[in-house]
Amino acid sequence: MPFPLRPLIAATLVVSLMPLLGCSKPETSGPAQAGFDALVTSCTQFLADRAPHVRPGGSGEWTKTGYSPALLKPELSRTESPVTPYVGKIVVKDNEAQATATTQAAAEAVTLTPAHLLSNRTHTFVYSFDGKTWRWQNGQLLTKIPGHNDTTVALTLADVSAMGPKGFIGCLPR
């Protein structure tokens, strides 16, 4: 390419890319980012601290249920709304395993393995930030059980804030 055309092509590229420079939304920072980071840390710790639990079954047996280490994926986005300038989403993927035994002691002694897989689960939690605090908005649970149809269930705040092994209280804003 002749030398005189190079500056012209460079100028054309710069001018054609200029509209793209301002099209991205500003990066999140400040209280929204700090609060969401704290929420993600709390949720991560809560999930890491889960332990298998043993409960009596319906016909005299005992059931041990446990969860694999969770894969947690947070997303934080700026919106165009002055009322809700940020939204956040946390997706939690884990596996649920279950085994039964005739006695409580036998159930507690079971080491859960992939052979005990009950389901693959994906929990999705959505949050909004009003400029001051984060609030839980909604959630859903997608369950995949081998040999069955996938199920999706809407989660309520009561479901997520429940105490015990079914709840996700550590994934709620404080």
Domain residue spans of the chain: 26-171
Average pLDDT, the chain: 86
Q: Does the pLDDT at position 100 exceed 90? A: yes
Question: By the 8 A CB rule, do 85 and 78 touch?
Answer: yes
User: Which residue is it, tokens 């041990």?
Assistant: 64
pLDDT recorded at residue 59: 87
Q: What's the pLDDT score for residue 97?
A: 96
Q: How far apart are CA 61 and CA 79, in angstroms?
A: 51
pLDDT at 27: 58
pLDDT digits (tens, 9 = 90+) for 3-51: 444 443 334 434 344 343 444 444 566 899 999 999 999 999 999 999 9
Query: In which residue are the tokens 């997520």 written?
Result: 160
Phi, psi torsion values for 52, nearest 5 degrees: -60, 150
- Whether the per-residue pLDDT at 104 is higher than 60: the answer is yes
CA distance readout (Å), 111 to 62, 98, 99, 125: 14, 10, 9, 30
- 106-160 residue pLDDT tens: 999 999 999 999 999 999 999 999 999 999 999 999 999 988 999 999 999 999 9
